[in-house]
């Protein structure tokens, strides 16, 4: 276990590039596996979560390797060409990887066991397994469908129409991936729009996909069993990862940074809209399109912030960013109200209760709700806390960001978990002017 301590920083300045987008990285490896020929991926996030998905795709038959230039090459097996893996697929800490790959194998004639670390093994999979059983797949494991879990795929799947009961891009994407090896048309109905990387990736690879109104909702229809041809992919940098240096700069006096090549998919930018509403000096330059995804550079300068009530319908576009938004809210004048966040209870940790406990330990005024929290900002945060991360990378990075502007250092109990999504986080932030140090190194 490695404890990391974050000390009060001077102004953060400079240009930086955060790692590749995690959501797009997972999907690029999966789609490359389902295409015939060699797909090249540049900018892939080389964090543990994505590398575990790469291992899973190799076990299912793909030839995946990193070349000397740092690009990744995937020789796929085609839709319907997945192999029976010799061993269980260890998905590490990645809920996204586990749920997407479950969808992928549910409509194959294979039996696949999924395992993961302690954090992943505590997370419910039922919201994915329920719709996948409608194709004809079956699942064997604990009653609450936690890992380890075995998927018995169906050789002759049936197309389905499924209305997603809660806003979840992972559930939607698992169904869409299952639909690829299912004859006929499968439709997913969304009440609330969620991130649409899967739909954009399908279009990039030539999948027949239609997105149409369905009353007040949206219907996404996929025609199954296409023959996909390899495509090159460029992964933009991750807007979720970019939120950490963005908020660090906003709360650290004198800061002025430029974050390059950030994905600006409209389904992912709620955090930046919210920060602008709080008075944050956040602007976008060099806006462009790459592989169907909007990309821009983000200029961020220190700004006094004001509390806001975040609209509940914005939650799907920033669900992963609420932990770091809590840090911005801690320094904002007035109250910041965040509600409609029930999904945070079933992330890598119960992010609502874990954030509340850490904030209170650091001297922040916060009230916990069943579906969120209310934070009353202060001009000065005492800090001086040791925060339990519960093996959650976003909790760790959020509290290290808090320590950059609090009176006393903030320490997280395990900094190693950051590698799952943001390898090099400490060095990158220290290069801007932060002061994050090892506190204790204990091999146990």
Domains 2-20+237-441 and 22-223 are alike in CATH topology:
yes
Q: Residue positions in the annotated binding site?
A: 22-23, 27, 95, 123, 168, 170, 320, 347, 351, 394
Q: Is residue 320 annotated as a catalytic residue, yes or no?
A: yes
Residue appearing with tokens 């801690």: 330
pLDDT at residue 90, rounded to an integer: 98
- Please tell me the distance from the alpha carbon of residue 396 to that of residue 417, in angstroms, as a whole number: 8
Q: Residue positions in the annotated binding site for phosphoenolpyruvate?
A: 22, 95, 123, 170, 351, 394
Q: Which secondary-structure segment (H or E) carries 157?
A: none
In this predicted model, what pLDDT tens digit does every residue of 190-238 receive, in sequence order? Answer: 998 898 999 999 999 999 999 999 999 999 999 999 999 999 999 999 9
CATH code for residues 2-20+237-441: 3.65.10.10
Widest pairwise Cα distance in the chain: 62
pLDDT at residue 346, rounded to an integer: 75
Q: pTM for the complete prediction?
A: 0.86
Structural fold of domain 22-223? UDP-n-acetylglucosamine1-carboxyvinyl-transferase; Chain (3.65.10)
Q: Residue positions in the annotated binding site for 3-phosphoshikimate?
A: 22-23, 27, 168, 170, 320, 347
Domain boundaries defined on the chain: 2-20+237-441, 22-223
pLDDT at residue 440, rounded to an integer: 53
Residue 274 pLDDT exceeds 70? yes
443: confidence class by pLDDT, cuts 50, 70, 90: very low
Catalytic residue among 49, 117, 297, 320: 320
| Residue 68: Cβ-neighbour burial (10 angstroms; 0-12, 13-18, 19+) | exposed
Q: Which secondary-structure segment (H or E) carries 30?
A: helix 22-34
pLDDT at residue 366, rounded to an integer: 98
In this predicted model, what pLDDT tens digit does every residue of 120-167 receive, in sequence order? Answer: 999 889 999 999 999 999 999 988 899 999 999 999 999 999 999 988
Chain center to CA of 307: 25
């Amino acid at each position: 276990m490695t404890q990391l301590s974050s000390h009060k920083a001077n102004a953060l300045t400079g240009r930086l590039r955060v790692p590749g987008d995690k959501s797009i990285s997972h999907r690029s490896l999966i789609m490359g596996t389902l295409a015939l020929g060699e797909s090249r991926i540049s900018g892939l996030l080389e964090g543990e979560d994505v590398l575990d998905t790469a291992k899973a795709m190799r076990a299912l038959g793909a030839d995946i390797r990193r070349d000397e230039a740092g690009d990744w090459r995937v020789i796929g097996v085609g839709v319907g060409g997945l192999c029976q893996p010799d061993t269980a697929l260890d998905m590490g800490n990645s809920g996204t990887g586990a749920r997407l790959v479950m969808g992928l194998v549910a409509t194959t004639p294979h039996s696949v066991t999924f395992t993961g670390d302690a954090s992943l093994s505590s997370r419910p999979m039922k919201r994915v397994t329920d719709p996948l059983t409608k194709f004809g797949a079956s699942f064997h494991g604990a009653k609450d469908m936690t890992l380890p879990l075995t998927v018995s795929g169906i050789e002759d799947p049936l197309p389905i129409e499924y209305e997603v009961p809660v806003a979840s891009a992972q559930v939607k994407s698992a169904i869409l991936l299952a639909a690829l090896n299912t004859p006929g048309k499968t439709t997913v109905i969304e009440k609330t729009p969620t991130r649409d990387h899967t739909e954009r990736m399908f279009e990039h690879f030539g999948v027949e996909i239609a997105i149409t109104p369905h009353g007040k909702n949206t219907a996404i229809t996929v025609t199954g069993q296409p023959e996909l041809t390899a495509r090159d992919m460029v992964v933009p940098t991750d807007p979720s990862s970019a939120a950490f240096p963005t908020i660090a700069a906003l709360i650290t006096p004198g800061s002025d940074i430029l974050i390059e090549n950030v994905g600006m998919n409209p389904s992912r930018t709620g955090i930046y809209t919210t920060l602008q509403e709080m008075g944050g000096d956040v602007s976008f330059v060099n806006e462009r399109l790459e592989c169907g995804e909007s990309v821009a550079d983000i200029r961020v300068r220190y700004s006094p912030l004001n509390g806001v009530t975040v609209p509940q319908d914005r939650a799907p576009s920033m669900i992963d960013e609420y932990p770091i938004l809590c840090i911005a809210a801690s320094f904002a004048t007035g109250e910041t109200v965040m509600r409609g966040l029930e999904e945070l209870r079933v992330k890598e940790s119960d992010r609502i209760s874990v954030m509340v406990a850490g904030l209170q330990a650091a001297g922040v005024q916060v009230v916990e709700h069943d579906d969120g929290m209310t934070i009353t900002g202060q001009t000065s945060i005492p800090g001086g806390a040791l925060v339990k991360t519960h093996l959650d990378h976003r909790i760790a990075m959020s509290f290290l960001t808090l320590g950059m502007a609090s009176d006393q250092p903030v320490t997280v109990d395990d900094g190693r978990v950051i590698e799952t999504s943001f390898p090099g986080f400490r060095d990158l932030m220290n290069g801007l002017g932060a002061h994050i140090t090892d506190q204790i190194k204990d091999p146990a």
